[in-house]
Amino acid sequence: MSRKRIPKALAGYTHHNKVRLVHGGHDYFSLLLQMIDNAKSTVHLQTYIYENDATGRLVADALMRAAAGNEVFVLLDGYASQDLPKPLSRP
């Protein structure tokens, strides 16, 4: 049996990756904050709705802490998150 060549785009893939289904609410945000706080090099957060409520501020604070030692990238939907105050939405 011949071995298939791995495409360059997948060369960084490892078999140690894990997937966990999180049903939302408290479980989701607790895990999100934990993952942001434990980041080692990079944080990528992409979401449709981001609110300036107590939970949104907890996430923003965690992202700012993470930015002290990591690259942090946040992608928000411009329509669903349009009511964010300028300090939270500036690049």
The pLDDT profile of the chain, 91 residues, written as one tens digit per residue, is 556 666 666 666 677 777 888 888 999 999 999 999 999 999 999 998 899 999 999 999 999 999 999 999 999 988 888 888 877 666 5
Does residue 70 form part of some domain? yes
Q: What pLDDT, on the 0 to 100 scale, is given for residue 26?
A: 93
Q: Which letter, b or e, does each residue of 30-66 get, where b requires 16 or more Cβ atoms within 10 Å of its Cβ? A: eebbeebeebeeebebeeeebeeeebbeebbebbeeb
What is the domain extent for residue 73? Answer: 8-89
Compute how many other C-beta atoms are within 10 angstroms of the C-beta atom of residue 76: 17
Q: What pLDDT, on the 0 to 100 scale, is given for residue 16?
A: 74
Does residue 1 form part of some domain? no
Does residue 74 form part of some domain? yes
Does residue 2 form part of some domain? no
Does residue 18 form part of some domain? yes
For residues 18 and 15, give the distance between their C-alpha atoms in angstroms, rounded to a whole number: 8
Number of folded domains that form the chain: 1
Does residue 28 form part of some domain? yes
Q: What pLDDT, on the 0 to 100 scale, is given for residue 82?
A: 84
Beta-strand pair 71-76/42-47: parallel
